[in-house]
Structure 1
Amino acid sequence: MMQNIWSITGRSIAVSALALALAACQSMRGPEPVVKADIPNSYAANASGTSIAEQGYKDFFSDPRLLQVLDLALENNRDLRVSALNIQKAQQQYQITENNQLPTIGASGSVARQVSPTVNPNNPYSTYQVGLGVTAYELDFWGRVRSLKDNALDNYLATQASRDSTQISLVGQVTEAWLNYAFANAQLKLAEQTLKSQLDAYNLNKKRFDVGIDNELTVRQAQISVETARNDVANYKTQIAQAQNLLNLLVGSPVPNNLLPNQRVSSITNQNVLASGLPSDLLNNRPDVKTAEYQLSAAGANIGVAKAQLFPTISLTGNLGYASRDLSDLFKSGSFLWSVGPSLDVPIFDWGTRRANVKISETDQKIALANYEKSIQSAFRDVNDALATRNNIGDRLSAQRRLVDATNTAYKLSNARFRAGIDNYLTVLDAQRSSYSAEQGLLLLEQANLNNQVELYKALGGGVKANTSDSKVYPASTADMKYHKGQSSQQRAQQPQQ
């Protein structure tokens, strides 16, 4: 009777100890920090409607040549390949930490030749042994192994989000490089037209000089304009070659000529309104923000690892198999053996090293928190900058077009007055330079307008999905899954600041 009581009591103590250990493992990580992004609830120049980041790049961009170039880039770009390989690496690292929660079972076999000084010391004998064994399987009472698994999972998710960031950046870079090639060609054509008109003017002034109507100064002034235009032509040819080289690098292979724009592009999207949505959308649409969130969660898991190391580590070792002095008797009755036993590692004096590791992990979490908050603020700033340009680009374009019309008219009038002998050629040169500069400025501004559309799409987190109908949902971090009972990072960021 007493033996049964002790047996029941022993089991009760064991169950209670296990319950306490499991409760401890839930509290090792500690509470998650409060995120204080400190950003307004709306943008400075907000366009109402669903964020354009929800649109796939195949629906946002309208030029079929550009879409083909983007598909080539997503298939061949080396940075994107490295990102994909990093995901595979992180996935395997997570698999390793998950496997560490299970015992490792291995087969072993041995034969030993030995002499016993007490049993027939003059005759050596052999011992044969085969079996299965579990070596140093850690009983994870304090959640150390589970925290390592959480850390590996968060790092894996962060790597996946980083890959999406690389894709967004690539889509933006390829589009802007493609536009740069188009407008470099447009600038070249403008420079060639200017060179032709300057050559005509030079030839006219040369003839007037030859017959004694004008002096040599007029000829030299016309020659200066010709050589300036020739220099611009050569410069834009260089820019076209460099733009093509950059585009080939980003795409990862030579871009076919039929996909290259040889003149200015008037539009790249069919969207009339570039809606930005709400700042809170950035937490789900910007993968770099998600990366910082996963890294913050991983830092919290590291605290659980460091705190668990303050407590004893209990490991289990066991094996079963057969052993015999004669190989023929190895698997006979009486040769079976087994053993099992725990080992305990109790920290006593480590001069504060383990507690210092806890402090370090807590500091790392504070750093990750600051980085997460900054990533939100940076994303908000990126969108506001793009919207600030978007808000005024229409007025700038209208003013620049009026400037082009005015300078072209002034050039025609000054040229007519010069031919009529009313003004000298210096007036024509000034008017021509103003007209040429205004035309160049208009091309640059048109390119900036298209680049701004790309920048806004990219800043809002667009470019991850190919089609709008595709679904892109980022998995919850381990902090969201375990310590906030389903509350998302977006909901936490929207809480009142404390």
Structure 2
Amino acid sequence: MAMTMVLGLAGCADFSGIHTRAHMIQSRSLAGIGPNHSSPGVFPQQHWWMAFGDAQLDGLIARAITANPSLKVAQSRVVEAQASAAAIDSARYPQINGEAKSTRERLSANSLYPPPLGGSMVTMNSANLTGQWQLDLFGKNRAALDAAIGQSRAAEADAQAARVLLAANVAQQYFNLARLQAQQDLDRAMLRQREQTQELVRQRVAAGLDNTLAQRQAQAEVPQIRRDMAALDEQVALARHGLAVLMGAEPNATDTLVAHLPTATLPRMPGHLPAELLGHRADVVAARWRVESELQGIQETKAEFYPNINLSAFIGFESIGLSKWLSAGSRTFGVGPALSLPIFDEGVLRAKLQGNTARADVAIDNYNAAVLNALRDVADQLSSWRALQTQLQEQMAAQAAVSSAYDLALARYQGGLTNYLNVLTAENAVLQQRHTLIDLQARVYDLDVGLMRALGGGYVITDGPRQLSNTTETRTAPGIQG
């Protein structure tokens, strides 16, 4: 009879007109994302940067992952979210509390106790165990737990995204520093070459073989190179500082660091990317878990429209005075259910449900934005890589041309057919082209890292297209039973 009454009252719950308006993007590029996948968080191989074969870079990234303050914040948020989920999980089980107290007090002569007890000083003693269990008939506590687990797993995915981004930033900053230091070496060679040119022109002017205009032009080139070298020194210092801060160290921690571009063959642009790769982006996974959390929050609020039944019980001892405190006659106990049902609340619950629904819409829209941004990120990286391939091909052709011209000028000088000034001029063209080539080669590694980051942090190249590494790592919310 009681259950029939409860179910009848539950039928009065009114959710009409309250529903989500947003719809999640359905894309084949996102196969396997989210809570319905077999694992709540499977991410690609964690040490993708080792493919560059630079032990120094490996050490810098390892130190950054250990010491970077922003990453520590993300990791602390994971612990906080897991603790919150564990606390919410406890609400699904019976709660038992104990209390014992002894109070010396004067009883009122005109209250509950008659004289001679009333008006006297007595010691009131009690020791009780109380228990309470909320019968989750309509799934409120279960939905609350699922929502908390969603937030916990979203926090884990956020931490993973932070790790990927941090490693990518360190690698890109390192390759930028390597590029700048290689340019410094070239500028020093160019300075020596320009000083030689200036001296030769001076000698030719002194011998009457050239005019002062050529000498003035040669003299202007030396301070220009020194100016460029000073600008490079500034960029190197700033790159060192940025790298040090990423590692969680003071700016001067990298003052002696000498970076190098990898000497192996340049990375190849992947000819094909499997559709599921994008589904491993931790930021997209986090957004998907937040959608799931908000949807569970809606279910939790809907459950508040239904009756709430609590079972409570207590047992213990109560007495006036200490002599009979723990005797059988001082026993006290009780048990009983409590039913609560919102009947008229001025629309508070409907307003709360509307708020939860709006938050779910926000989460869905944020997820859609994360998907579109991820798709754009990958498309941008691939477009830049394709354009860079053309630039590299043209640069190699230009490099070959100036190198051939230098070889010809050197041969003519050695054959006595021209002066050494022509050799220096040809050498200057070679050095200029090397400047451009270093920039393009560094850009290749920058884009390679960018594509790894865009795809969620790690893919390996096989005999055919690049694929996800087989080495994976599964992260779940520890200490929480689903």
TM-score after normalising by structure 2? 0.79
Please name the residue that 1:365 is paired with: 360
Please name the residue that 2:284 is paired with: 289
The answer to whether residue 328 in structure 2 is matched with residue 337 in structure 1 is no
Q: Which of 44, 65, 80 does residue 89 from structure 1 map onto? A: 80
Alignment of 1:157-172 (within 5 A): 157-172=153-168
2: CA distance between counterparts of 1:463 and 1:18? Answer: 53
Please name the residue that 1:496 is paired with: none
Please name the residue that 2:108 is paired with: 115
Alignment of 1:16-415 (within 5 A): 35-38=24-27, 53=44, 56-57=47-48, 60-108=51-99, 109-111=101-103, 112-117=105-110, 119-120=114-115, 123-126=119-122, 128-134=124-130, 138-253=134-249, 260-267=257-264, 274=270, 277-283=273-279, 285-407=280-402
Contact 2:44/2:473 (8 A) holds in 1 = no
> Could you list the per-position Cα deviations for residues 203-262 of structure 1 after superposition, in whole angstroms to 9, with x for gaps in the alignment?
222233344443332222112111111111122222222222222222224798899545
Contact 1:41/1:278 (8 A) holds in 2 = no
Contact 1:322/1:336 (8 A) holds in 2 = yes
Q: Which amino acid aligns with 1:399?
A: E
Query: How many residue pairs align between the two structures?
Result: 446
Q: Which moved more, 1:29-38 or 1:391-400?
A: 29-38
> Could you list the per-position Cα deviations for residues 12-64 of structure 1 after superposition, in whole angstroms to 9, with x for gaps in the alignment?
x549958998xx9xxxx99998632356799xxxxxxxxx9558426533223
2: CA distance between counterparts of 1:107 and 1:136? Answer: 12
The answer to whether residue 440 in structure 2 is matched with residue 439 in structure 1 is no
Change (3 A) 1:434 1:57: same
2: CA distance between counterparts of 1:170 and 1:383? Answer: 18
Change (3 A) 1:58 1:231: closer
Q: Which of 445, 454, 460 does residue 459 from structure 1 map onto? A: 454
Change (3 A) 1:83 1:41: closer
Give structure 2 stretches of 5+ with no counterpart.
Answer: 32-42, 461-467
Change (3 A) 1:79 1:15: same
Change (3 A) 1:53 1:61: farther
Change (3 A) 1:253 1:123: closer
> Could you list the per-position Cα deviations for residues 277-314 of structure 1 after superposition, in whole angstroms to 9, with x for gaps in the alignment?
3223322x211111011100011011012222223444
Please name the residue that 1:47 is paired with: none
Contact 1:179/1:447 (8 A) holds in 2 = yes
Q: Which moved more, 1:249-258 or 1:302-311?
A: 249-258
Please name the residue that 2:474 is paired with: 473
> Could you list the per-position Cα deviations for residues 300-358 of structure 1 after superposition, in whole angstroms to 9, with x for gaps in the alignment?
01101222222344444432211112211111121101123444443333322220111
> Could you list the per-position Cα deviations for residues 342-395 of structure 1 after superposition, in whole angstroms to 9, with x for gaps in the alignment?
444433333222201111211221221122222222222222222223334333
1: CA distance between counterparts of 2:146 and 2:29? Answer: 33
Change (3 A) 1:223 1:31: closer
Q: Which amino acid aligns with 2:390?
A: D
Secondary structure, counterpart of 1:142 in structure 2: coil
Secondary structure, counterpart of 1:403 in structure 2: helix
2: CA distance between counterparts of 1:151 and 1:138? Answer: 19
Contact 2:65/2:247 (8 A) holds in 1 = yes
Secondary structure, counterpart of 2:114 in structure 1: coil
Q: Which moved more, 1:378-387 or 1:176-185?
A: 378-387
2: CA distance between counterparts of 1:263 and 1:310? Answer: 65
Q: Which amino acid aligns with 2:437?
A: L
Q: Which amino acid aligns with 2:472?
A: S
2: CA distance between counterparts of 1:223 and 1:82? Answer: 55
1: CA distance between counterparts of 2:456 and 2:272? Answer: 10
Secondary structure, counterpart of 1:339 in structure 2: strand
> Could you list the per-position Cα deviations for residues 64-84 of structure 1 after superposition, in whole angstroms to 9, with x for gaps in the alignment?
332232222222222222222
Q: Which moved more, 1:350-359 or 1:168-177?
A: 350-359
Contact 2:29/2:277 (8 A) holds in 1 = no
RMSD: 4.1
Secondary structure, counterpart of 1:334 in structure 2: helix
Q: Which moved more, 1:349-358 or 1:248-257?
A: 248-257
> Could you list the per-position Cα deviations for residues 101-141 of structure 1 after superposition, in whole angstroms to 9, with x for gaps in the alignment?
23332222243431342611664253533233437754333
Please name the residue that 2:464 is paired with: none
Q: Which amino acid aligns with 1:400?
A: Q
Q: Which moved more, 1:343-352 or 1:93-102?
A: 343-352
1: CA distance between counterparts of 2:9 and 2:45? Answer: 47
